[in-house]
Chains A and B, each alone.
Chain A
Amino acid sequence: MIEWIHPSLLLIIGALGIPLLRGRARQVWQLVLPTLFLLSILSLDHGSFGQINFMGMELTAGRVDALSLVFAYVFAIILIIGAIYGLHVDDWVQHTAAFCYGASAIGVVLAGDLVTLYVFWELMVITSVWLIWRRKSDVSMAAGMRYLLVHALGGVLLLAGIVMYYQSTGSIAFEQIQIGGPAFYLILTAFLLNAAVPPLHAWLADAYPESTITGAIFLSALTTKTAVYTLIRGFPGTELLVWMGAVMALYGVVYAVLANDIRRLLAYHIISQVGYMVAGVGMGTVMALNGASAHAFTHILYKSLLFMGAGAVIHMTGKSRLSELGGLYRYMPWTFVLYMIGGFSISAFPLFSGFVSKTMVVEAAAADYRPVIFLMLLCASAGTFLHTGLKLPWFTFMGKDSGLRPKEAPANMLLAMAIAAFLCVFIGVFPGYLYALLPAPVEYNAYTTGHVLKELQLLLFTGLGFFILLRHVGGENKVAVDTDWIYRGGGKRATIAVRDRISLANRMSRDWFMGILSTSLVYLNRHHGRDGKLARSWPTGSMAFWVVVLLAWLLIFGIDQH
């Protein structure tokens, strides 16, 4: 008897229909499927569903509560937006992978136990990597392979952690991880890897800019935010995370200064923004956890909007570097304006979505009396506007004329961006609707005179600094090495050097051994060979001679004895 069907299962089955459909039929199904999926998520009741006993373990495929629903709602929304944005792409592999990836992400946030979580966690990796590989360039193949390997490592850590957790607690229920020891740290490390917390973040900035134009929308939304969900669920109030989050927020900002590729710049700002969420999880207060959830929700919308804008530019111009772009606002005005709505949202301008969520996390730090964290997060806010709201649009759409004369992006891309932009403004103007979804009642009011005044000052004077230093902030034709250098640069070279040394040593020891072998062969041959002393047939004369010698010896010494 089936009393509850997992929405992810429905979505995966539906996604398997995409390869069978062609042309218009595929496009219609691509819109109908995520819409049905959103409806199925909206119709979920609170509670635990889909419990089955598997080899003595109690699995709960569906744990539905306020926290899991916040994430499930926004994931479902982004699947619709992403589907519209990718409507023109004729590649069933990508579309199927994107929906299965979304289904897995929702599987993670609905998972009530660690085994179900692990299964969907791994499914996310093997579905999402196709969104990178389908760019079909050598770079994206290599980046996708690195992405796969890094996440395979994370999966192993998670599995090891889950096994140890089960051994010491006898439970696989996914609640706050309250035991210490290796299980705690293994599971935490696996979650931090997916949340792209430095130094485990390099896979993100490596792979996302190499993904397909449309795949980046799903990638930017899903993996890091499922990790934020698992951190909120499993590790609230872990002091270490406060500092990791604040450092992370600034780390992304520093690398965004150095970035030249527009989607790499945005990727580093995912890391920066997830830093706010990780810090919020670490503080663990009601306001901080609400803030982290709210920020994940708004972040998915504005970051997808930014990636859509950057993707539209790359799609229309074929260029992705700031040093090759410029002056596009005349040719892609709608892309520019919609991008700027995303830029204002991520920068937390009042009346845009980031303002109602980011300031909640920052305020939580202040209320928790953490002045240093507060100042670090405030500094990262300035950095966010500096890059995503000023540097990227200035050097792409304004600035010098690059000579590019692209057409405006296709209508479906603009529509997807417009929906995301509408939601960004809507949440910014009416934050109550978002606050009502959050796990705990919200007592925070973003729109006090003090908050608005402080935020506007911070942002506008950041802008002043940008224009003063305008000449020094443009993209440069360089790459900035990050921790992926360990396996792409130095580590790779070191590995190759070690390999060469080993093969050299191997060859030398073989040569040495073969040398000894052949020397001894020559020696043996000399003595035991056909013409060797010991193998020669002796003439009878020499035999008689030796017998005479022997007898003479006996005669002289032997007889003397007796």
Chain B
Amino acid sequence: MRLARILDWLVERWRLLAVIVLVIMTLLVVADFAIEPSYQRYPWDGLGGFGALYGFISCIVIIVVSKALGYAFLYRPDDYYDEKQDQDD
């Protein structure tokens, strides 16, 4: 399987890939500061790196809030609805 070998090759170099992605992310934020904002509608439109900040915070908030809701209210044991027992086919 050629594709599997290509993927393996990439996975072996994950450190390098991670560095490349981090460099791209830095450049995006830098570029955002440099480029004139295309809209002036909201207070955050002129803010460089707003997308990055908002994305990061959203991600953390989503995970923390959802898991908190899960543990506090929503999670039940796997066999809570008792018909679930033959789930694995």
Contact = CB atoms under 8 A, between A and B. Distances in A.
Interface of A: 135, 137-139, 142, 253-255, 257-258, 318-320, 329-331, 333-334, 336-337, 366, 369, 371, 374-375, 378-379, 382-383, 386, 398, 408, 448-451, 453-466, 468-469, 472-473, 476-482, 488-489
A466 B64 CA distance: 11
Given A139-B84, A479-B81, A480-B74, A461 B38 contact: no
Contacts of A258: 66-67, 69-70, 74-75
Given A257-B70, A333-B3, A462-B58, 20 more contacts: A137-B89, A139-B84, A253-B66, A257-B66, A378-B54, A453-B51, A456-B28, A458-B52, A458-B55, A460-B21, A460-B52, A462-B59, A463-B21, A464-B56, A466-B59, A469-B59, A469-B63, A473-B63, A478-B78, A489-B76
A318 B67 contact: no
Contacts of B69: 254, 258
A454 B87 CA distance: 42
Contacts of A463: 21
Contacts of B58: 378-379, 382-383, 458, 462, 465
Interface of B: 1, 3-4, 7-8, 11, 21, 24-25, 28-29, 31-32, 35, 37-39, 41-42, 49-56, 58-63, 65-67, 69-70, 73-78, 80-81, 83-84, 86-89
Contacts of A378: 54, 58
B52 A461 contact: yes
State the majority secondary structure of interface residues on B: helix
A254 B65 contact: yes
State the majority secondary structure of interface residues on A: helix
B51 A458 contact: yes
A478 B25 CA distance: 35
Nearest to A314: B89
A459 B55 contact: yes
A371 B51 CA distance: 14
Nearest to A369: B41
The 5 A-B pairs of least Cβ separation, nearest first, read A465-B59, A450-B38, A457-B51, A257-B66, A458-B55
A386 B63 contact: yes
B68 to A, nearest CB: 10
A478 B41 contact: no
18 contacts: A138-B83, A258-B66, A319-B88, A333-B3, A378-B54, A386-B63, A398-B11, A453-B28, A453-B35, A457-B52, A460-B25, A460-B52, A460-B55, A461-B25, A461-B55, A479-B76, A479-B77, A481-B76
A478 B63 contact: no
Nearest to A451: B38
B60 A479 contact: no
A85 B1 CA distance: 22
Q: Which of B11, B53, B81 has the most CB of A within 10 A?
A: B81
Contacts of B35: 449-450, 453
Contact of B89 (A142, A318, A464): A318
A462 B51 CA distance: 10
B51 A379 contact: no
B70 A465 contact: no
Contacts of A458: 51-52, 54-55, 58
A529 to B, nearest CB: 54
B87 A139 contact: yes
Contacts of A449: 35, 38
B24 to A, nearest CB: 7
A469 B67 CA distance: 12
A333 B4 contact: yes
Q: Which of B24, B58, B67, B75 has the most CB of A within 10 A?
A: B58
B63 A465 contact: yes
A201 B21 CA distance: 38
A375 B52 CA distance: 13
A331 B21 CA distance: 26
A453 B32 contact: yes
A468 B57 CA distance: 12
B5 to A, nearest CB: 9
Nearest to B62: A383
Contacts of B53: 461
A156 to B, nearest CB: 26
A466 B21 CA distance: 14
A333 B7 contact: yes
A335 B53 CA distance: 33
A369 B24 CA distance: 32
Contacts of A318: 88-89
A461 B62 contact: no
Nearest to B2: A333
A479 B42 contact: no
Contacts of B56: 461-462, 464-465
Contacts of B55: 382, 457-462, 465
Contacts of B65: 254
A457 B63 contact: no
Given A258-B66, A481-B80, A366 B75 contact: no
